[in-house]
């Protein structure tokens, strides 16, 4: 069974990004964005359950919205106003819903990286 997962690492501290808010969105044919769910990462920077699995994980385009500005502010960091990064949006496509799709995020207050993980 296919599923969607993520893992967020705070590269500025060299630690998992726990307690980071993520919105899971589906993109529709007319470019409208449809919210599916909201989750928060655990102490390991992961979610306790897959973001999507079973019938809610389908072929199509998705967007993950990582609320990194709020995460860094919660750690007591003083960020510029507005912060350089506030919400990091990662749009990606799923061509095979029977496979595991992993979308990790490496983030600092001033940069991020993502890739298709395993």
C-alpha 105/C-alpha 67 separation (Å) is 12
Q: Look up the CATH number of domain 3-114.
A: 2.60.40.180
**At CA 17, angle to CA 43 and CA 41, rounded to 5?**
55
- β pairing state of 105-108 and 8-10: parallel
Share of the chain above pLDDT 90, in %: 95
Query: Where exactly are the structural domains of the chain?
Result: 3-114
Tell me the pTM: 0.96
Bridge partners, 101 (sequence order) = 4
Tell me the pLDDT tens digit for each residue of 28-73: 988 899 999 999 999 999 999 999 999 999 999 999 999 999 999 9
Beta-carbon contacts of residue 96 (< 8 Å; ≥ 6 apart): 2, 59
- The whole-angstrom separation of Cα 53 and Cα 2 is 6
Residue 99 pLDDT > 90: yes
* Dist. CA 72–CA 47, nearest whole Å: 18
Q: What percent of the chain has pLDDT over 70?
A: 100
């Amino acid at each position: 069974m296919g599923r969607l997962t993520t893992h967020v690492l705070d590269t500025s501290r060299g630690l998992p990004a726990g307690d980071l808010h993520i919105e899971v969105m589906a993109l529709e044919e007319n470019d409208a964005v449809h919210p599916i769910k909201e989750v928060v990462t655990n102490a390991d920077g992961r979610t306790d359950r897959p973001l999507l699995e079973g019938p809610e994980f389908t072929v199509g385009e998705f967007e993950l919205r990582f609320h990194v500005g709020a995460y860094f502010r919660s750690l007591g960091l003083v960020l510029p106003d507005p912060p350089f990064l506030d919400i990091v949006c990662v749009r990606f496509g799923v061509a095979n819903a029977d496979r595991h799709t992993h979308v990790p995020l490496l983030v600092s207050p001033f940069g991020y990286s993502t890739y298709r993980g395993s």
